[in-house]
Chains A and B, each alone.
Chain A
Amino acid sequence: MANKPRVKVPKKAKSGDIIQIKTLMSHKMETGNRKDKKTGKLIPRKIINKFVCSFKGKEVMSAVLHPAVAANPYLAFYAKATESGTFDFEWTEDGGKTITASGDITVS
Chain B
Amino acid sequence: MKYTKYITSAAGLLGLGAILVACTPAPTMKTGYDYAIPETQAMQDDDFSNPAFVWVDIGEEQWSTVDGEAGKSCESCHGDASSMKGISTSYPKYSAEDGKMRTLQHQINYERTERMKAKAWKWEGDEMLGMASFIKNQSKGMPLNVSIEGEAAPFYEAGKAFYMQRRGGLDMSCKNCHMDYPGVKIRANVLTNGLPNGFPTYRLKWQKIGSLHRRFRGCNSNIRATPYKQGSDEYTNLELFLTHRANGVAVETPAVRN
The stretch among B6-14, B46-54, B150-158, B171-179 that forms the contact with chain A is B46-54
Q: Which of A23-77 contact B (CB under 8 A)?
A: 24, 26, 28-29, 70-72, 74, 76
* A8 contacts B by Cβ under 8 Å: yes
* B204 contacts A by Cβ under 8 Å: yes
The A contact surface, by secondary structure, is loop
Query: Once the chains bind, are B208 and A6 in contact (CB under 8 Å)?
Result: no
The contact of A72 among B48, B54, B57, B126, by CB within 8 Å, is B54
Q: How far apart sit A1 and B127, CA to CA, in the bound complex (Å)?
A: 10
* B207 contacts A by Cβ under 8 Å: yes
* A4 contacts B by Cβ under 8 Å: yes
Query: Once the chains bind, are B208 and A24 in contact (CB under 8 Å)?
Result: no
Q: How far apart sit A26 and B126, CA to CA, in the bound complex (Å)?
A: 12
Given contacts A6-B53, A6-B54, A6-B57, contact A22 B48 (CB under 8 A): yes
Query: Once the chains bind, are B49 and A26 in contact (CB under 8 Å)?
Result: no
Given contacts A1-B126, A8-B48, contact A70 B207 (CB under 8 A): yes
Query: Once the chains bind, are A22 and B207 in contact (CB under 8 Å)?
Result: no
Using Cβ atoms and an 8 Å threshold, which residues of chain A touch B54?
Answer: 4, 6, 24, 26, 72
Q: How far apart sit A76 and B43, CA to CA, in the bound complex (Å)?
A: 12
Instruction: Give the size of the chain A interface in residues (CB under 8 angstroms).
Output: 14
With CB as the reference atom, state the residue of chain A lying closest to B61: A4
Q: Which of B35-94 contact A (CB under 8 A)?
A: 48-49, 51, 53-54, 57
- A-B interface pairs (CB < 8 A), number: 31
Q: How far apart sit A35 and B48, CA to CA, in the bound complex (Å)?
A: 32
With CB as the reference atom, state the residue of chain A lying closest to B52: A72
Q: How far apart sit A28 and B54, CA to CA, in the bound complex (Å)?
A: 12
Given contacts A6-B53, A6-B54, contact A70 B48 (CB under 8 A): no
Query: Once the chains bind, are B207 and A72 in contact (CB under 8 Å)?
Result: yes
Question: Nearest Cβ distance between residue A81 and chain B, in whole angstroms?
Answer: 19
Using Cβ atoms and an 8 Å threshold, which residues of chain B touch A8?
Answer: 48
Question: Nearest Cβ distance between residue A21 and chain B, in whole angstroms?
Answer: 11
Query: Once the chains bind, are B207 and A74 in contact (CB under 8 Å)?
Result: no
Query: Once the chains bind, are B207 and A6 in contact (CB under 8 Å)?
Result: no
Using Cβ atoms and an 8 Å threshold, which residues of chain B touch A1?
Answer: 126
**A71-93 Cβ-contact flags toward B at 8 Å (1 or 0):** 11010100000000000000000
Using Cβ atoms and an 8 Å threshold, which residues of chain A touch B51?
Answer: 24, 26, 71-72, 74
With CB as the reference atom, state the residue of chain A lying closest to B49: A74
Specify which of B48, B126, B207 lies most central, judged by the most chain A CB atoms within 10 Å of its CB. B48
Question: Nearest Cβ distance between residue B254 and chain A, in whole angstroms?
Answer: 13
Question: Nearest Cβ distance between residue A29 and chain B, in whole angstroms?
Answer: 8
Residue numbers of A with Cβ under 8 A of B are 1, 4, 6, 8, 22, 24, 26, 28-29, 70-72, 74, 76
A/B interface sample: 28 pairs, CB < 8 A = A1-B126, A4-B54, A4-B57, A6-B48, A6-B53, A6-B54, A6-B57, A8-B48, A22-B48, A22-B49, A24-B48, A24-B49, A24-B51, A24-B53, A24-B54, A26-B54, A28-B207, A29-B207, A70-B204, A70-B207, A71-B51, A71-B207, A71-B208, A72-B51, A72-B54, A72-B208, A74-B49, A74-B51
Residue numbers of B with Cβ under 8 A of A are 48-49, 51, 53-54, 57, 126, 204, 207-208
